[in-house]
Amino acid sequence: MGKIALLVPREEMIYQAHNLLQEAGYQDKAFAVSCMKVVRTKNIVMEARQAIAGGASMIIARGLQASLIKQYTDIPVIEIVITAQEMALLVMKAKQILKKEHPVIAVVGFRNMFCDMSYFDGIYGIELRAFYAPDNEQLRAAALQAVEEKVDLLIGGDVAVEAAAGAGVPSLFLSTTEDSLRNAFSMAKSISFAMDVEKKKAAQMETLLDYSFSGVAHIDGEGKILAVNPLLEDMLGQPGKKLTGRLLAEVFQDLDLSQVEQILKKGGNSYGAFLRVRGFSIYAILAPVLVEGKVEGAILTCHKMAQKLTVEQESQKKRHSNGLIALGQFSDILQESPAMGQCVGRAKLYAMSDLPVLIEGEAGTEKRLMAQSIHNASLRSRNAFADVSVRGLADEEQFALLFGEKGAAVQADGGTLLLEDGDMLSLPNQYRLLQLIRYRLWHGRQLQQNRHLDVRVMVTASVPGAFEQAVGQGRFREDLYYLVKGLDIRIPPLRQRKEDLKQKLGAAIRESCERYGRYHVLTREAEEVLLNCPWFGNLYQVEHFCERLILTATKRSLDEWAVREVLDELFGGKENLERKSGKKDSGSEGNLSRDAEDGWPDERSRQIAAALKKHGGNRKKTAEELGISKATLWRQMKKYGLGRD
């Protein structure tokens, strides 16, 4: 603990302090009163500064002296406050002197010297008046004011007692017992202990920051950076003074804000994220600092994984990769939806590994883009990314493509090989792939041609679940399946990612409009129809649908009619799209077959027209009146040529 200085105005207080320090509670070596002095008020600031220079970490003082030390130094000051018991003894002694039924007693001094005396009047049968002086010069004036108010007795220090004597008013010196000093010492001990704990914490944090082999940042409960170590300064290319005080999310923009908030507000589990900073690959871990279950901030540790490439290195990368470069980045992937955000988060973690990755998803999902992003976020990013598919190829063709002298495996040495439709690989080539993954061995035509290749393999399936089916049918090696299955990613379809689907629809329509110099917008109803379509072709299907929609649009505002018409032309309507795919989207509207609607008489046409007129063309109300779905109403309107502008 730190050293404590006791600076007091009277000698007897020093004696009382000596007696107290003999008690067992103050024999702890950690509690050190290094300096005890009787000091005149005019010298108190100078003496306090000398005590601080001598190593004092806090000062115990009384009254005006304590106030002056607080004003002119920045050291903690423990004030000696006269206890209620000490004041009670003085009041009872005053009553004995006065022998009066209800005496008027004045207390003169500085406000910070006294305890709360609000109820003394009722308890002791007196009228107690307090005369507080703001400084030493006005202390006599306060005493004289008490005399002028005809008090019966005055309690105060030397100045007050002297003024009372000059006016012939009885007085008592404001003496104290050991109680007030004991309270001050106890408070000093507690504060000293707290300061010591804080120093240890600060020292530990300083050691962590200075000697950690990782970049480290100390974060407060509001998400602001309190301190960073030199390694993190080097990673970010900024000095600590420019980083401290800034929000963590401002410095590391790739962090998931919801995860950061979860940790800082609720103290959740640590959060890991893969980041790109100044061309470096960094894995960051944010962990909460918990004190008695309460979050007091967090610690961010950053582990550098790859060096930034210079211009020369970039040139070497292109030469070495033979043009086999992955262009995709994680930032290119639609990930507004929680499902896709979680998927991308897992993929970022997989980028740290060298094991194979199995990527599954429906046609048109971001399987290839995901593989490119993992490659570009890995330590292999400067090397080749070879992407091949074995669908429809015979065994010999597969061998030549993958394991020939100039095949993909050789071209991807040091980099990544993406094998699309991997479940269609022949059994002999499955064995070769197993050797490449497990033992880094490349098998040529001849045994003596075998050599080591350093290739990371990523595999996609022709359809979700294809590998399991192939293993069950004996068309795929079980051992190879378990090799590629360890790090698997299943990309959710767009129909399960409404936020991403909405963003993709908007982007595809904007791009088509810009491409053809047009301006079209979807109505709310049209957007709702598209958001409820199953889109089994996912991104591909959405992009081509939007292109067709813009090319054939005849109106600026694209309503439900225009959208359903293009859906019908391309896929035979949304319901037919579901049937042709062999799937049914639970969120689709209506499922009547087209055949069941054929043969409506002219009466039906008039009935629909009348209902539309009645409801001012509102299709929702019209459908409700006719007892059919909006999808069925639309088809019948199309059949009878109703509702066109």
Rg for the chain, CA atoms, rounded = 42
DSSP string covering 47-115, please?
Answer: HHHHHHHTTEEEEEE-HHHHHHHHHH--S-EEE--B-HHHHHHHHHHHHHHH--SS-EEEEEE-GGGB-
Instruction: Tell me: do 239 and 275 sit in the same domain.
Output: yes
Same-domain pairing of 198 and 265: no
Place of tokens 């002197």: 97
Q: The sheet that has 104-109: what strands, in order across it?
A: 127-132, 104-109, 153-156, 171-173
State whether 155 and 37 are in the same domain. no
pLDDT of residue 540: 92
Least confident of 237-246, 329-338, 584-593: 584-593
Burial bucket for residue 408 (CB in 10 Å: 0-12, 13-18, 19+): buried
Higher pLDDT, 282 or 110: 110
On the 0-12 / 13-18 / 19+ scale of CB atoms within 10 A, 412 is buried
User: Alpha-carbon distance 635 to 526, whole Å?
Assistant: 15
* 169 in the same domain as 92: yes
User: Could you give the CA distance from residue 592 to residue 202 in angstroms, rounded to a whole number?
Assistant: 71
Residue 383 lies in a domain: yes
Residue 25 maps to a domain? yes
In whole angstroms, how far apart are CA 477 and each of 430, 467, 481, 504?
7, 10, 6, 38
348-385 pLDDT per residue, tens: 999 989 999 999 999 999 999 999 999 999 989 889 99
Residue 256 lies in a domain: yes
For residues 191 and 218, membership in a common domain is answered with no
Q: Do 329 and 405 fall within a single domain?
A: yes
- Which of 306, 327, 353 corresponds to the end of one domain? 306
466 neighbors 423 (Cβ within 8 angstroms): yes
Whether 264 has a pLDDT exceeding 70, the answer reads yes
CB 388 within 8 A of CB 429: no
Instruction: Tell me the mean pLDDT in the region 496-503.
Output: 94
Are 452 and 482 in the same domain? Answer: yes
Angle at 603 (CA atoms; ends 598, 604), nearest 5 degrees? 45
284, 411: one domain: no
CATH of residue 201's domain is 3.40.50.2300
- Whether 71 is in a domain gets the answer yes
Q: What is the pLDDT at residue 257?
A: 83
Of 119-123, 193-197, 442-446, the range with the highest mean pLDDT is 119-123
Amino acid at the residue 463: V
Range(s) of the domain holding residue 403 = 313-492
- Give the number of domains in the chain: 4
Instruction: For the chain, give the percent of residues with pLDDT over 90.
Output: 38
Is residue 121 assigned to a domain? Answer: yes
Please give the pLDDT value at position 200: 65
Question: Where does a domain end: 152, 175, 198?
Answer: 175
Domain contains 544: no
How many percent of the chain have pLDDT more than 70?
Answer: 86
Give the pairing of strands 385-389 and 357-360.
unpaired
- Read off the pLDDT band of 592 (50, 70, 90): very low
As a whole number, mean pLDDT of residues 104-131 equals 91
In a domain, 396, yes or no: yes
Q: Which pLDDT belongs to residue 585?
A: 44
At residue 129, the pLDDT reads 93
- Compute the distance between CA of residue 5 and CA of residue 439 in angstroms, rounded to an integer: 72
Query: Which of 492, 519, 544 is a domain's end point?
Result: 492
CA proximity to 143, closest of 153, 158, 131, 152: 131
3-state secondary structure 591-620: CCCCHHHCCCCHHHHHHHHHHHHHCCCCHH
Distances (CA, A) of 264 to 168, 261, 299, 477: 67, 5, 10, 47
Strands 451-452 and 441-442: antiparallel
**Which residue intervals of 4-83 are DSSP H helices?**
11-21, 44-53, 63-72
Q: Are residues 323 and 440 both part of a single domain?
A: yes
Q: What is the mean pLDDT of the chain?
A: 83
- For residue 238, the domain's CATH number is 3.30.450.20
Residues 408 and 446 in one domain: yes
Upper half-sphere CA count for residue 302 (Cβ side, 13 Å): 27
DSSP 3-state of 43? helix
330 with 249, same domain: the answer is no
pLDDT band at 312 (very low <50, low <70, confident <90, very high): very low
- Is 338 domain-assigned? yes
Domain match, 332 and 407 both:
yes
DSSP-derived secondary structure letter, 114: B
Cα–Cα distance for residue pair 393/389, rounded to 1 Å: 9
Task: Encode pLDDT of 520-579 as tens digits.
Answer: 889 998 999 999 999 999 999 999 999 999 988 888 888 888 898 888 888 775 545 554
Could you tell me the two tokens for 354?
């060298």
